[in-house]
A and B are shown apart, each in its own frame.
Chain A
Amino acid sequence: MVTEGAPGNETAGPGGVSPLGAGAPPFGGATSRRQMPADAPASGIGSPGDASPDRAGAGAKLGIREWSVWFGLIQALRSVSFDIREREILGIIGPSSSGKTSLLRSLNRMNDTNPAFRWTGSIALDGRDLYRQFGSQDVRRRIGIVFALPMPLPKSIRENVVYGPKLRGLRDRGALEALAERCLRAASLWDEVKDRLDLPAMKLSGGQQQRLCIARTLAMEPEVVLFDEPCSGLDPISTAKVEETMLQLKERYTIVLVTNNTKQAARVSDRVAFFLMGELVELDRTDAIFTAPRDRRTEDYITGRFG
Chain B
Amino acid sequence: MAAVSAPRAIRTQQIALAALFLANLIALLPAVVVVGVLLVRGAGAISWEFLSAMPSQGMRSGGIFPAIVGTLQLVALTGFFALPVGVFAAVYLTEYSRDNWLTRLVRLAIVNLAGVPSVVYGLFGLGLFVIFFRFGTSLLSGALTLAIMILPVIITASEEALRSVPQSFREVSLSLGASRWQTIRHAVLPYAVPGIMTGTILGISRAAGETAPILFTVAAFYLPRLPASIFDQAMVLPYHLYVISTQIPYIPEVTRYGTALVLLLLVLTMNLIAVVLRARFRRRRLW
Query: Which residues of A does B touch, CB under 8 Å?
Result: 108, 110, 113, 115, 137-138, 140-141, 144-145, 147, 149, 151, 153-154, 163-164, 167-168, 200, 202, 213, 216-217, 220
Q: Which 6 A-B pairs have the closest CB atoms?
A: A154-B286, A141-B177, A164-B176, A151-B168, A140-B177, A145-B175
- Give the residues from 168 to 184 in chain B that come closer than 8 angstroms, CB to CB, to chain A: 168-179, 182
The total of interchain contacts (Cβ-Cβ below 8 angstroms) comes to 60
Provide 12 A-B residue pairs closer than 8 Å at the C-beta atoms, listed in order of the A residue.
Answer: A110-B174, A113-B170, A113-B171, A138-B177, A144-B175, A144-B176, A151-B168, A151-B169, A151-B172, A153-B169, A164-B177, A164-B178
**Across the interface, which residues of B come within 8 angstroms of A149, CB to CB?**
168
**Across the interface, which residues of A come within 8 angstroms of B187, CB to CB?**
153
Q: Output the least CB separation between A77 and chain B (Å).
A: 20
Q: Output the least CB separation between B126 and chain A (Å).
A: 44
Query: Which residues of B does A touch, CB under 8 Å?
Result: 98, 168-179, 182, 186-187, 191, 286-287
Q: Is the CB of A220 within 8 A of B168?
A: no
Q: Is the CB of B176 within 8 A of A163?
A: yes
**Residue from A153, A200, A220 within 8 A of B177 (CB atoms):** A220
Q: Is the CB of B168 within 8 A of A167?
A: no
Q: Is the CB of B171 within 8 A of A167?
A: no
On whether A167 and B176 interact (CB within 8 A), knowing A147-B168, A153-B187, A154-B287, the answer reads yes
Q: Is the CB of A140 within 8 A of B286?
A: no
Q: A110-B175, A164-B177 are in contact. List 13 more A-B contacts (CB 8 A).
A: A138-B177, A140-B176, A144-B175, A147-B172, A149-B168, A151-B168, A151-B169, A154-B286, A163-B176, A163-B178, A163-B186, A164-B176, A216-B176
Q: Is the CB of B177 within 8 A of A202?
A: no
Q: Output the least CB separation between A253 and chain B (Å).
A: 15
**A202 to B191 Cα, complex, angstroms:** 14
Q: Output the least CB separation between B194 and chain A (Å).
A: 12
**A284 to B171 Cα, complex, angstroms:** 32
Q: Is the CB of B182 within 8 A of A151?
A: no
Q: Is the CB of A168 within 8 A of B177?
A: yes
**Across the interface, which residues of A come within 8 angstroms of B182, CB to CB?**
167
Q: Is the CB of A167 within 8 A of B286?
A: no
**Across the interface, which residues of A come within 8 angstroms of B176, CB to CB?**
140-141, 144, 163-164, 167, 216-217, 220
On whether A151 and B171 interact (CB within 8 A), knowing A115-B98, A163-B186, the answer reads yes
**Across the interface, which residues of A come within 8 angstroms of B286, CB to CB?**
154, 200, 202
**A101 to B251 Cα, complex, angstroms:** 76
**A202 to B177 Cα, complex, angstroms:** 22
> Closest chain B residue to A203 by CB distance?
B286
Q: Is the CB of A110 within 8 A of B171?
A: yes
**A138 to B178 Cα, complex, angstroms:** 9
